[in-house]
Amino acid sequence: MNPREQLLQQVLALPTADQAFLAQSIEDHLIANLAPETEESADAAGQQLLTELRRRSAAYRSGQAPSRAASDVVAGLRQRQSDERNS
């Protein structure tokens, strides 16, 4: 196991509250260190996101995109995390 994987396993072994704290701290750090966007690039990125959201919404409504209940997704994530801890 490489050092990144070892670090990840250590973090995943922490209590959920500590994992959330680390995730928020890393997110804050990454956001603070991003290059500032120009208004034009922010507008373009926002338009691309809106286009993608509309595409996905249309695919869902037409039945082309599968969906799962949120409870099933969360249960699957919990099972995967448990499996990773036990391996």
Tell me, yes or no, whether 3 and 29 share the same domain.
yes
Within a domain: 38: no
Tell me, yes or no, whether 28 and 48 share the same domain.
no
Determine the 3-state secondary structure of 2 from DSSP.
Answer: coil
In the chain, what is the greatest distance between 2 CA atoms, to the nearest angstrom?
A: 48
Tell me, yes or no, whether 29 and 51 share the same domain.
no
Residue 5: closest CA among 84, 71, 76: 84
Say whether pTM exceeds 0.75. Answer: no
Enclosing domain of residue 15 = 1-33
Q: What is the pLDDT of residues 18-63, one digit of tens each?
A: 999 999 999 888 877 876 666 677 788 888 988 898 998 899 889 8
Tell me, yes or no, whether 76 and 53 share the same domain.
yes
Tell me, yes or no, whether 47 and 24 share the same domain.
no
HEC readout, 30-79: HHHCCCCCCHHHHHHHHHHHHHHHHHHHHHHHCCCCCCCCHHHHHHHHHH
Tell me, yes or no, whether 50 and 82 share the same domain.
yes
Q: Take residue 23 and report the two structure tokens written for it.
A: 């995730």
Q: What is the tally of structural domains in the chain?
A: 2
